[in-house]
Structure 1
Amino acid sequence: MKEILREIGMIARALDSISNIEFKEYDLTKGQYLYLVRICENPGIIQEKLAEMLKADRTTAARAIKKLEINGFIEKKNDEHNQKIKNLFPTEKGKNVFPFIKKENDHSNKVALQGFSRVEVETIFNLLQRVRKNVEVDWEFVKKGNKRNY
Structure 2
Amino acid sequence: MNNLEYETLRYVGALSRAINSTADWKYKKFDLKKGQYLFITRICENPGINFIELSNMLKVDKTTTTKAVQKLIELGYINKEQDERDKRGYKLTPTEKAWEVYNFIIQEESKQLKISFEGFSQEEKEMATELLKRMSENIEEYWHEYKNQG
The alignment's TM-score, normalised by the length of structure 2, stands at: 0.93
**Structure having the larger proportion of residues in helix:** 2
% same residue: 41
**Where does residue 27 of structure 1 map in the other structure?**
31
The equivalences for 1:127-142 within 5 A come to: 127-142=131-146
Aligned residue among 36, 46, 54 for 2:40: 36
TM-superposition CA deviations, 1:104-138 (whole Å, max 9, x none) = 01111111001000000000001111111111121
1:121 correspondence with 2:108 = no
1:111 correspondence with 2:107 = no
Give the deviation of 1:12 after TM superposition.
0.5
Q: May I ask how many residue pairs the two structures share in their alignment?
A: 146
In structure 2, stretches of 5+ residues that fail to align are none
Question: Using the alignment, how far apart are the partners of 2:104 and 2:66 within structure 1?
Answer: 24
**Where does residue 148 of structure 2 map in the other structure?**
144
Give the deviation of 1:19 after TM superposition.
0.5
Question: Using the alignment, how far apart are the partners of 1:82 and 1:144 within structure 2?
Answer: 23
Give the deviation of 1:29 after TM superposition.
1.4
**Where does residue 94 of structure 1 map in the other structure?**
98
In structure 1, stretches of 5+ residues that fail to align are none
The alignment's TM-score, normalised by the length of structure 1, stands at: 0.93
Give the deviation of 1:142 after TM superposition.
2.0
RMSD: 1.2
**Where does residue 9 of structure 1 map in the other structure?**
13
Give the deviation of 1:95 after TM superposition.
1.3
**Where does residue 80 of structure 1 map in the other structure?**
84
Runs of 4+, deviation exceeding 6 Å: none
